[in-house]
Amino acid sequence: MTFNIDVAIEALKIIAAVSVYFVWVVRYDNIKKEFKSYELPKMFRDLVGILKISFTVMLQFEDNNLVTIGSLGIVVLMLGAVATHLRMKNPVRDMLPAITMLSIGLVILIYTIS
């Protein structure tokens, strides 16, 4: 059996979309609590959610320009998330989802632009 990078990238795109859907739709109450604890405005929370969902939807298209925009958007948002966790002095375990999504976004971005 050989490793197929195209299949792996498609799997990462699906994992990103399902993860964002789960966190921002199914577990939205947790997001509301988290943003409130960080003293971030509701409008900012909603903007981040709209962007995250939009960026992961962009990953599902075959147009490399859309995939590039979507993956770059995820990378930027996850850099912001990690910075926020660091600013709040959260334990590393609380940062792992953001670090994981950042990594997924970077892998997809690098693959797409190469």
The confidence score (pLDDT) of residue 46 equals 97
pLDDT value for 2:
85
pTM of the model: 0.94
The 3-class secondary structure across the chain, one letter per residue, is: CCCCHHHHHHHHHHHHHHHHHHHHHHCHHHHHHHHHHCCCCHHHHHHHHHHHHHHHHHCCCCCHHHHHHHHHHHHHHHHHHHHHHHHCCCCHHHHHHHHHHHHHHHHHHHHHHC
Q: How far apart are CA 95 and CA 82, in angstroms?
A: 6
Q: What pLDDT, on the 0 to 100 scale, is given for residue 31?
A: 96
pLDDT at 64: 97
Residues of the chain below pLDDT 50 = none
The per-residue pLDDT for 28 is 96
Give the pLDDT confidence of 4-15 residue by residue, as tens digits.
999 999 999 999
pLDDT the model gives residue 1: 75
